[in-house]
Amino acid sequence: MDYDDRQDVNNILIRIFTWMGVATAATGGWLLLYSFRRKRRVRKAAA
């Protein structure tokens, strides 16, 4: 809420960018966990 002009600032553009930010953060967290999980599986080189 904009207290000076009493206008609602919760419009569709702010909601779109908010959900895009949430999706980006969730995807980044998933990729971080996925990359740590892959590093544990180290294959032994055939000699």
With respect to residue 47, please indicate whether it lies within any of the assigned structural domains.
Answer: no
With respect to residue 26, please indicate whether it lies within any of the assigned structural domains.
Answer: yes
With respect to residue 46, please indicate whether it lies within any of the assigned structural domains.
Answer: no
Instruction: Count CA atoms closer than 13 A to 23's CA, side-chain side.
Output: 6
- Mind listing the pLDDT tens digit for each residue in 11-33? 899 899 999 999 999 999 999 99
Check residue 2 and give its pLDDT.
Answer: 63
> 2 with 9: CB under 8 angstroms?
yes
Q: How far apart are CA 45 and CA 47, in angstroms?
A: 6
Q: Domain span at residue 27?
A: 1-40
Claim: this prediction has a pTM higher than 0.85: no
Check residue 40 and give its pLDDT.
Answer: 58
Q: For residue 23, what are its two tokens?
A: 């999706």
Residues in the chain: 47
Question: Per the structure, how many domains does the chain have?
Answer: 1
Angle formed at CA 18 by CA 9 and CA 15, multiple of 5 degrees: 45
Q: How confident is the model at residue 7 (pLDDT cuts 50, 70, 90)?
A: confident
With respect to residue 45, please indicate whether it lies within any of the assigned structural domains.
Answer: no
